[in-house]
Amino acid sequence: MTLMQCGCRRMKRIGLDATDIRILCAVQQHGQLSKAKLAEIANISATPCWARLDRLKAAGLIRGYHGDIAIDRICDVTQVMVTVSLTHHRKADFDRFEAFVMDREEITECIATGGGMDYVLKAVTSNLMSFQALMQAMLEAELGVDRYMTYIATRIVKANRPNLAKLAVKNIS
């Protein structure tokens, strides 16, 4: 398994201090904030706060702003977790599978893993028949899938964001 396949890409880390972490935590928790509110949370004045936010965005540390929508209160959905093992483990095999995943909107998450399975997918469809059509398309695409296991999600027990402040404490420059 290559570094690229396992998600262990070696990227240059940007030096962060406690103020940068406070800004990132505020964005993670609240999304887009006014200049004044973000500066208040970060405990610095607005102009340097905004400059730091621009630097953090430019460094690629903020990928976007998203709403946490209660989709199950809007429509019926079926959520399925799928583990996938590929027959071969060449870069071309991983690239072909990942291209298929990127092209399917029903697959909302895909994690490359080490160990027994190569990928863990999360698929969200309107019903089981739609999910089965997705799996049929995956098999018909001849992606080199050796085996897959499906797990129907019956309810979400926990879905939180990681505690950035706690995780980054050892890496603050």
Please report the domains of the chain, with CATH numbers, ordered by start residue: 13-67 (1.10.10.10), 71-152 (3.30.70.920)
- What gap in Å lies between CA 172 and CA 81, rounded to an integer? 35
What are the angstrom distances between the C-alpha of 88 and each of 29, 91, 169? 40, 9, 39
pLDDT-derived band of residue 160, with 50, 70 and 90 as boundaries? confident
Contact 78, 135 (CB under 8 A): no
**Per-range mean pLDDT, top range of 15-19, 58-62, 97-101:** 97-101
pTM (predicted TM-score): 0.79
Cβ-proximal residues to 46 (8 Å cutoff; 6+ apart), any chain:
35, 36, 38, 39
